[in-house]
Every structure is written in structure tokens, then in C-alpha cells.
Chain A
Amino acid sequence: MDNDIDMESAVTQLNRSTVPDAWAESVRLVAVKRDRAAFQVLYKHFSPLIRAFLLKSMGSGANRSEAEEITQEVLIKVWNKAATFNPAKASVNTWIFTIARNTRIDFIRRNDRNNREIDIEDIWHDAESPEPLVDMQQRRAEQVIKQAMATLPEEQVQVLYKAFMEGKSHNEVAEELSLPLGTVKSRIRLALNKMQILIDR
């Protein structure tokens, strides 16, 4: 157990060395106190962003009222799952994005009238990292990503945007931009490399 305590203090120190996450305290208050005011702060900031993301990513079949319904679903999950948020592992931004992404995948499946019941969170789940120090490296990587993103050339931003915000696969992006698949892949990889996300393949 001594080991755990050492780890904890190391994490606390590392936490101080990174930029504080302004939204983490609000999520904590929602988790521990079921604090309406704190939740309203999150609601005000994030619901217009979640709505914007869903309108872009739910495909041409999605109308405004569907996007609204899914936005509400995402916010209900934020309230219900607040206690599972781990500030050492991810920022509130990333945590809320993953909830929105999973809710969107679920919506698309339901819309396909798929009769096989699957809990999307079984597949796209928060992988628990057993090592807190790895988590901290993660949090610092996030700062690098934030800074580097502002410097990316337009053609790289475009493919990243289509992949992440419009929810298009590499193949779909290639088709839409009339580019070879290899070009889309290499543009994304160049952008990721600049953000210090170094995937070997």
C-alpha cells in the first residue's frame, strides 16, 4: 500500500505542473453534491458545442430535433456518470467528447434498425490505465496537442476535421475529396506527428 501513497503524491505533484482544467471542479461538484448550479455552468458551455458536433457528425439523415434529443441524452449521461470522471486521466473536454461520440454511434445503430442489442460502451469503453504516471504523461500530451493544432496547414486541418467532426472514415474522406486513400492517411499522420502522436504505422 505504501507504493500507492507514493504514486498518489507523485501524481499530485505532476498535476500541479500542468494547466488546471477549469471544468473539472464543476464535474466534481455534480458528482459529489449533485450540484445544479455547477451542472448549469457545464450545460451553458458544452451544450452548444455538443449540438454543433452532433449536427455535423450525425450524417445527412439527421434533423435538428434528432440532434437536440441526442444532445439532451449526452447531458443526462454527464450528470449520471459524473462520478466516473477521472481528472488525472482526461480533461473534461475529452471526457464529454467521448460521451457524445458514443451516444452518436448508438443513435446511428438504432437508426439502422439493428435488432442485435449491443452496449456500445462495451466496445468504446474508457480503458482503465493501471499506471497513474502514464495518465499524467497523457495530460501533458494534451497540452502539446492544443498548441500544435493551431499551427497545422489547412489541408491537414481539413482531413482531421472530416474524420473527427464529421465522423467520416478514411475511405469516406478519400472519396469525398477525390484523393487516394494513401494521401488521406499520410495527411492525417503528418498532422498527428506534429501533435506528437507518434503511431508507428
Chain B
Amino acid sequence: MVSFHPDSKFLTDFAAGSLPLSEAVCVAAHLEFCGKCRAHVQQLSDVAAQMMVRLDPVVDDNDGFESLMQRIESSDPAPAGQVSNIAAKAAVSATGIPRVVEKLAGGSLQNLNWVKLGKSLRIAPMDIGCKSRQTAIYDIKAGRPMPEHEHRGEEITVLLKGSFSDADGKYVKGDFVVRYAGERHQPTATLDTDCICLVSLEQPVKASSWWYRLMEPFVQYRLSGFSR
């Protein structure tokens, strides 16, 4: 059962279209797991639509209908009667990874450039052209802890597969977890299965163990090296 959801700020900004891309991808991934939040986003879109139809209409002096039809008819991909059969999209693909994540990864997580960090963790940066944040997939080995780290900025984690726990509790597939600057934690993947997460980071995480601190310049180098 998904029990951690994006708050009203995330959902409103998502429905309004103002949420930066990296965060929007996290919300979209969560929505594929969560019907309740999907319904909320739909309702918020209804609010926006009701506001739009109440705006003072801005009428264009010259009626552009004929020129619009010319544009359409010179490039109409779907002739009359041929209703394109958009198959109902399965919420989550066969691999169990949200479609939005697989699409942005170029079809499969395998296509990403994975960087191994010690025995328990590998990271694949995702280039989604968002300047304000880093987006990456983390893969933590079953039963292994990640280095304890402290957040310099906000971090969003969406659990895509497996589960992990930290001092505050246990998180399962679909959960949307937000950590704020200054919080420290050490997530551990649960024993039975590897844990795969989508992570959106406002600032690079500051590691508190000497080991991770030694690794950090390397991580930064690799992360920036792979972003086009």
C-alpha cells in the first residue's frame, strides 16, 4: 500500500503545469502507482478549466478559422472515420517500472550509464534537461545500507521497486518521500530484494561518512560527465 504521497503544493503545481521538470517526473511516476492522487490531479485540472472558461475572452480581429483549416488539411494524419485506437495505457509497464521513467531512460533502465559506488549502491544520472535539480536512479542491493548522508537541499525519492527503511519508518513501492535540507538519514534496502528509486535532488547530497566524502568528488565528476 502506497502511504506517502505528494502534498497539495506538488499536486497543484503539477496540474497547473508550473512544477519544474525533475519534480514533475517524480509526481508523474507516483501517479502511475496511486489512483487517489491521479483523481486529485484530475480534479485540480477541472479547477483550472473552470477558471479558464471564466476568463474574459480575447477575440482575434480577423477570424483565422479558414487558414487554420488549411493548415490542418495539408497535414491531417487521421482521415474521417479512422479513429486511432489508443489502447488503454497500462499504468505500469511489464517490468513494474513506471512508463514515464522507462520512456525518459530511452526504453529501459539498462540503457542508462550506471556508476558503481562501492558494493551496495549504483547510480544512473538521468538527463531530463532540468537545470535546477539532479535526477537519477539509485539501485541499492538487498539488505545493504546506503552511506549515511545529510541533505543540503530538498530531496524527493520515489520508490520504484523493492522497499527501504530508515530511522523514520519503512517505505514501499510507489511511496513519494521528501527530505528537507539539514535532515540526515541512512536508508537501508530491505533484505529480500534490491531497491530501485527515482531521486530528484536540489543540491548534491553531503555525505557524513569519511568514505562517502572521499567518493564525493568522484561522484560529482561522473554525474557531470554524463549529463549532456
For B7, list chain A residues within 8 Å (CB). Answer: 199, 201
26 contacts between A and B (CB under 8 A): A40-B65, A49-B57, A50-B52, A55-B58, A68-B60, A76-B71, A83-B83, A90-B45, A93-B50, A97-B45, A100-B52, A101-B48, A116-B128, A123-B25, A123-B100, A124-B24, A127-B91, A128-B89, A129-B35, A134-B39, A168-B16, A169-B13, A169-B18, A170-B13, A189-B8, A201-B7
Most buried by A among B41, B48, B64: B48
Known: A101-B17, A134-B39, A167-B16. A201 touches B8 (CB 8 A): yes
Tell yes or no: B80 within 8 A of A by CB.
Answer: yes
Interface residues of A (CB under 8 A from B): 31-34, 36, 39-40, 43-44, 47-53, 55-57, 68, 72, 75-76, 79-80, 83-84, 89-91, 93-94, 96-98, 100-102, 104-105, 109, 114-116, 118-119, 122-125, 127-131, 134, 137-138, 141-142, 145-146, 149, 160-161, 163-165, 167-170, 172, 185, 188-189, 192, 195, 197, 199-201
Tell yes or no: B142 within 8 A of A by CB.
Answer: no
The one of B6, B8, B58 that contacts A192, using a Cβ cutoff of 8 Å: B8
- Bound-state CA distance A172–B13 (Å) is 11
In the bound complex, do residue A197 and residue B71 qualify as a contact, i.e. CB atoms below 8 Å apart? no
In the bound complex, do residue B55 and residue A52 qualify as a contact, i.e. CB atoms below 8 Å apart? yes
For chains A and B in complex, what number of residue pairs have CB atoms within 8 angstroms?
210
What is the interface size of chain B, counting residues whose CB is below 8 A from a CB of the partner? 70
- Bound-state CA distance A5–B51 (Å) is 36
- Bound-state CA distance A185–B8 (Å) is 8
For A125, list chain B residues within 8 Å (CB). Answer: 28, 89, 100
In the bound complex, do residue A199 and residue B55 qualify as a contact, i.e. CB atoms below 8 Å apart? no
In the bound complex, do residue B8 and residue A129 qualify as a contact, i.e. CB atoms below 8 Å apart? no
Closest 5 pairs (CB-CB, A-B): A116-B129, A48-B57, A97-B49, A34-B80, A201-B7
Tell yes or no: B112 within 8 A of A by CB.
Answer: no
Known: A105-B17, A127-B91, A164-B47. A83 touches B84 (CB 8 A): yes
Known A-B contacts: A105-B17, A195-B47. Give 7 more (CB < 8 A): A34-B80, A51-B57, A52-B56, A57-B17, A83-B83, A93-B50, A142-B43
Known: A34-B79, A124-B28. A141 touches B43 (CB 8 A): yes
- Bound-state CA distance A119–B170 (Å) is 34
For B19, list chain A residues within 8 Å (CB). Answer: 169
Tell yes or no: B214 within 8 A of A by CB.
Answer: no
In the bound complex, do residue A52 and residue B129 qualify as a contact, i.e. CB atoms below 8 Å apart? no
